[in-house]
């Protein structure tokens, strides 16, 4: 494996790194306190990150984990964004990583339950397709916090938005996701394929949907909650 050629890491990502990452995320999610129905994603992500670092079996998971890692355009010496959680394999190349971008779905905002599936697509997935994240690797990840526990509804809303934006996402029509080849029996894990600048090698986004342990609403929101899809 040659560190200088990102294409040589593709099999390692698919066979070793990403399955281990998804396993660690799911195992850790079951151990932490579930988020409230209006909890901000940064707070949830920080708690998840801290629990993953504390609980990581270093003999089983050799990757390095970072929270809100800064993305830098080295040619311009300019910050282009902050990635939510980043997993670095054993290489000295800072541009070889697996990024997991977190978004919340089915959220209570000012007493109204909102799907936020459009933000998942336009402010999450699109950042990978526009090469703001993961410019030199062929894999990225999306982590969805389903705050009302209704994973099926959240996934349906995201799937509708993916189809509506499949051209911007550079997907083959009609813009459908597929079962994850890395977790084929897990219906809450999906994969989408996209064409960026390389016409032969697709960019793969891995989607992981996790559920709140209960649709608890904080403060005065509980008495006035209504739904908006």
What domains, with CATH codes, occur in the chain?
6-227 (3.40.91)
Q: What percent of the chain has pLDDT over 90?
A: 64
pLDDT tops 70 at residue 222:
no
How do residues 60-94 score in pLDDT, each as one tens digit? 788 999 999 987 776 767 777 789 999 999 888 88
Where does the pLDDT of residue 38 fall: very low under 50, low under 70, confident under 90, or very high at 90 and above? confident
Where does the pLDDT of residue 200 fall: very low under 50, low under 70, confident under 90, or very high at 90 and above? low
Average pLDDT of 101-129?
A: 94
pLDDT tops 60 at residue 6:
no
Average pLDDT of 129-140?
A: 92
Measured between alpha carbons, how far apart are the two ends of the chain, in Å?
Answer: 46
Where does the pLDDT of residue 109 fall: very low under 50, low under 70, confident under 90, or very high at 90 and above? confident
Is residue 68 within 8 A of residue 82, CB to CB? The reply is yes
Q: Which two tokens stand for residue 156?
A: 């349906």
Phi, psi of 105 (to 5 degrees): -130, 155
Average pLDDT of 112-137?
A: 94
Instruction: Supply the pLDDT for residue 174.
Output: 96
Average pLDDT over the chain, rounded to whole? 86
Q: What percent of the chain has pLDDT over 70?
A: 86
Q: Tell me the whole-structure pTM to 2 decimals.
A: 0.88
């Amino acid at each position: 494996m040659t560190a200088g050629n990102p294409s040589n890491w593709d099999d390692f990502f698919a066979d070793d790194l990403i399955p281990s990452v998804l396993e660690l995320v799911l195992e850790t999610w079951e151990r932490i306190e579930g988020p409230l129905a209006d909890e901000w994603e940064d707070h949830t992500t920080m708690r998840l990150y801290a629990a993953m670092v504390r609980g990581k079996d270093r003999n089983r998971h050799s990757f390095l984990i970072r929270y809100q890692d800064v993305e830098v355009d080295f040619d311009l010496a300019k910050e282009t964004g902050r990635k939510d959680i980043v997993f670095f394999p054993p290489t000295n190349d800072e541009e070889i990583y697996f990024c997991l971008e977190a978004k919340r779905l089915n959220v209570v905002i000012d007493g109204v339950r909102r799907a936020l599936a459009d933000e998942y697509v336009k402010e999450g997935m699109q950042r990978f397709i526009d090469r703001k994240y993961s410019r030199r690797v062929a894999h990225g990840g999306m982590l969805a916090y389903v705050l009302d526990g209704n994973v099926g509804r959240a996934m349906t809303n995201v799937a509708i938005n993916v189809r509506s934006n499949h051209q911007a996402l550079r997907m083959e029509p009609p813009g459908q996701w597929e079962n994850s080849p890395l977790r084929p029996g897990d219906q809450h894990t999906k994969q989408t394929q996209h064409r960026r600048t390389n016409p032969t090698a697709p960019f793969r986004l891995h989607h992981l949907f996790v559920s709140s342990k209960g649709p608890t609403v904080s403060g005065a929101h509980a008495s006035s909650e209504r739904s908006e899809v």
